Amino acid sequence: MEENLSISIANELRKDILRGRLRPGDAIKERDFAFKMGVSRTPMREAIRLLGNEGLIELRPSRSPIVANQSKQMVADQIRLLVVLENLSAELACKNATEDDLGRIAGIAETMAAQFDSTDAIDMFEIDMSFHLAVVKASHNASLVETYRTYLQRLWRARFLAASLDPNRKRLIREHRAIVDALLKRDPEAVKNAIQNHLGNLFRDVSNALDREAEERKTLTSVGENK
């Protein structure tokens, strides 16, 4: 897609949100952000609306938009859907994946295994997410890819917090390899089982991470000034 100013602004804001430089609850003041980026309100407004549609920003009447701050119920709902989308992609990828697709997926898994200790946590998490997205792309169902991407982004931060809480590298690499092996065999049941094994406790892990973060925020608030 051809990139205009609003799309490049949206890309930059999205990256800031996913990478944690903009945190849940932070205000995105249209005029301020436009001025800082040296653009007018129009493309900034359009970018904010785009991210609003993607669920990353929450628009509020008569108040500045904020980085979306999702309830545990919303996170649970999205994870429930994400798992179903990954299962569907497993089934379809077994049928439709090209040899290039499978090669790419296996390559990403190898890259993670090889570089885990020498890559910072944020970059490694991005590779992890690109692995999952590559599996979905191997389904060759464009709607599935589009919808999956939406929830991948919405859940990004929560999953990153969960991954940071329990960075079990051996388990991660083993479970990704199980998914790759099952895909290479083009065995849908085996892929689904491997995915279930990999994501089965995702909500619990994410929930724990969000609880932990809420505790930390409460501690900071009680010693700091009340805003």
Residue among 68 and 108 whose Cβ is closer to DNA: 68
What is the rounded CA–CA span in Å between residue 224 and residue 227? 9
Q: Does 141 bind its own copies (CB under 8 A)?
A: yes
Q: Does 119 bind its own copies (CB under 8 A)?
A: no
Q: Angle at the Cα of 144 (from 137 to 69), degrees rounded to 5?
A: 105
CA 95 to chain centre: 26
Q: Does 3 bind its own copies (CB under 8 A)?
A: no
CB hemisphere CA count around 218 (13 angstroms): 6
160: tokens are 């990153």
Place of tokens 């007018």: 40
What is the rounded CA–CA span in Å between residue 222 and residue 131? 40
Q: Which stretch binds DNA (CB under 7 A): 43-51, 79-87, 178-186, 213-221?
A: 43-51
Name which position in 7, 39, 88, 190 contacts its own copies (CB under 8 A): 88
50: tokens are 């785009």
Q: Does 58 bind its own copies (CB under 8 A)?
A: no
What is the rounded CA–CA span in Å between residue 225 and residue 205? 31
Residue 27 bridge partners (DSSP): 66
The answer to whether 66 and 57 have CB atoms below 8 angstroms apart is: yes
Name which position in 5, 74, 127, 161 contacts its own copies (CB under 8 A): 74
Q: Does 178 bind DNA (CB under 7 A)?
A: no
Please state the length of the chain: 227
Q: Which stretch binds DNA (CB under 7 A): 54-62, 126-134, 169-177, 191-199?
A: 54-62
Q: Does 224 bind its own copies (CB under 8 A)?
A: no
3-class DSSP state of 19: coil
Q: Does 186 bind DNA (CB under 7 A)?
A: no
Name the minimum Å distance from CB 34 to DNA: 7
Q: Which stretch binds DNA (CB under 7 A): 1-9, 13-21, 116-124, 165-173?
A: 1-9
Residues found near its own copies in the complex (CB under 8 A):
2, 46, 49-50, 53, 61, 73-74, 77-78, 80-81, 84-85, 88, 92, 141-144, 147, 150-151
